[in-house]
């Protein structure tokens, strides 16, 4: 089956005065129609950068190489005009911080309506009516009043609903949600996740869910990719990861994942050490320095992802669960 989004050997580099930061390294991912892909990693693992590259919204000093196909068409290196026909309409993104991701001096209504005005050449009146409907659909109470509000007049959760609604106006085929709940209260987090789940079911969306929190992702995602230092180190089906994590990094992440039921939040385990300097290329495994299972070979030879192609449809827990590790945990 043709994936709706197909990323092959994606590399993202940032030129800086201190050197070239190699933020995303040889990332290959694909997203099937109606599927949900979870991308997990610490901050700085390159997960956000990879999908900003997909949207074509990286800073000017970024160099992107590889291939990004959307609905069968190569969009990496496409002109802004071509990209602008796709992004915001067929391919949309919701960002981490709803506080600062909406323009402060424009009303919610204007910011939502302009999407339809630009992409579907709607009149402003029609567009505002459609925006109103959408606000209802994303469960914003008193939608008509909220439409006239400025972002600062809404709570964080409401703003994230607005962001999600805005991204759904043109019936996109892919929605990328980059840490959509990180900046929100715990109770609101659950509501937003639920909303994403509902929207996915109602609209047949394909969803990319980027998060540092495995617990949030695993509930929703069909497949999960774990990223470390710009690379994918493990891929698995969504339900599988808890029981059958193979990469020591994934296991460590799982230990850090906040168990909300835990009474002793003050004793949250943390990951020792720091991620490697992304301006350097290590010969061996990037995680070796922080890994309890690392041996001599880990520092000399880079472990490759064990299965070159990975497709969710053919996935069963043992046979297609690629991992880039010399000493993986066996389940």
Binding site for another protein (CB under 8 A): 55-57, 59-60, 80-81, 83-89, 92-93, 95, 97, 100-106, 114-115, 118-119, 144, 148, 150, 152, 163, 166
**Rounded Cα distance, 5 and 171, in Å:** 16
- Is the CB of 104 or the CB of 283 nearer to another protein? 104
Give every CB contact of residue 38 below 8 A, 6+ residues apart in sequence: 209, 210, 211, 217, 218, 220, 221, 223, 224, 225, 238
Minimum distance from CB of 84 to another protein (Å)?
4
Nearer Cβ to another protein, position 106 or 254? 106
Q: Closest approach of Cβ 110 to another protein, in Å?
A: 8
In order of 201, 308, 310, the CA distances from 287 in angstroms are 37, 20, 22
Q: Which of the 8 DSSP states describes residue 46? A: S
Nearest-angstrom CA–CA distance, 128 and 90: 20
Q: Which is nearer to another protein, 70 or 249 (CB)?
A: 70
Using CA atoms of 155, 156, 162, 163 in order, give the dihedral in degrees to the nearest 10: 160
Token pair listed for 84: 């602008």
**10 versus 232: smaller Cβ distance to another protein:** 10
Q: Which is nearer to another protein, 144 or 201 (CB)?
A: 144
Min dist. Cβ of residue 137 to another protein (A): 18
Residue 105 Cβ vs another protein, minimum distance, rounded to whole Å: 5
Closer residue to another protein, CB minimum distance, 128 or 234: 128
* Residues contacting 296, CB < 8 A, separation 6+: none
Nearest approach in angstroms of CB 173 to another protein is 14
Cα separation, 247 vs 264, whole angstroms: 27
Q: Minimum distance from CB of 34 to another protein (Å)?
A: 22
């Amino acid at each position: 089956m043709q994936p709706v989004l197909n990323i092959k050997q994606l590399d993202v580099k940032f030129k800086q005065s201190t050197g070239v930061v190699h933020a995303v390294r040889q990332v290959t991912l694909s997203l099937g129609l109606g599927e949900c892909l979870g991308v997990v990693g610490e901050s700085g693992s390159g997960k956000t950068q990879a999908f900003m590259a997909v949207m074509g919204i990286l800073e000017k000093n970024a160099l992107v190489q590889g291939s990004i196909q959307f609905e069968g068409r190569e969009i990496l290196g496409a002109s802004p005009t071509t990209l602008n026909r796709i992004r915001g309409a067929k391919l949309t993104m919701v960002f981490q911080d709803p506080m600062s991701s909406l323009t402060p001096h424009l009303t919610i209504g204007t910011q939502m309506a302009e999407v339809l005005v630009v992409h579907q050449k709607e009149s402003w009146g029609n567009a505002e009516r459609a925006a109103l409907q959408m606000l209802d659909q994303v469960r914003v109470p008193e939608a008509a009043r909220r439409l006239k509000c400025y972002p600062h007049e809404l709570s964080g959760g409401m703003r994230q609903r607005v962001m999600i609604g805005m991204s759904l106006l043109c019936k996109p085929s892919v929605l990328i949600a980059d840490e959509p709940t990180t900046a929100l209260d715990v109770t609101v987090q659950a509501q937003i996740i639920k909303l994403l789940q509902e929207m996915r079911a109602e609209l047949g969306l394909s969803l990319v869910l980027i998060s540092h929190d495995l617990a949030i992702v695993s509930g929703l995602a069909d497949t999960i990719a774990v990223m470390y230092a710009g690379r994918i180190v493990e891929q698995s089906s969504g339900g599988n990861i808890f029981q059958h994590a193979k990469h020591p990094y994934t296991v460590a992440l799982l230990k850090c994942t906040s168990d909300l039921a835990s009474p002793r939040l003050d004793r949250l385990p943390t990951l020792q050490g720091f991620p490697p300097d992304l301006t350097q290329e290590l010969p061996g495994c990037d995680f070796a320095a922080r890994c309890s299972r690392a041996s001599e070979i880990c520092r000399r030879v880079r472990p490759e992802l064990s299965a070159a192609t990975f497709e969710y449809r053919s996935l069963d827990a043992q046979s297609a669960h690629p991992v880039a590790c010399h000493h993986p945990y066996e389940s």
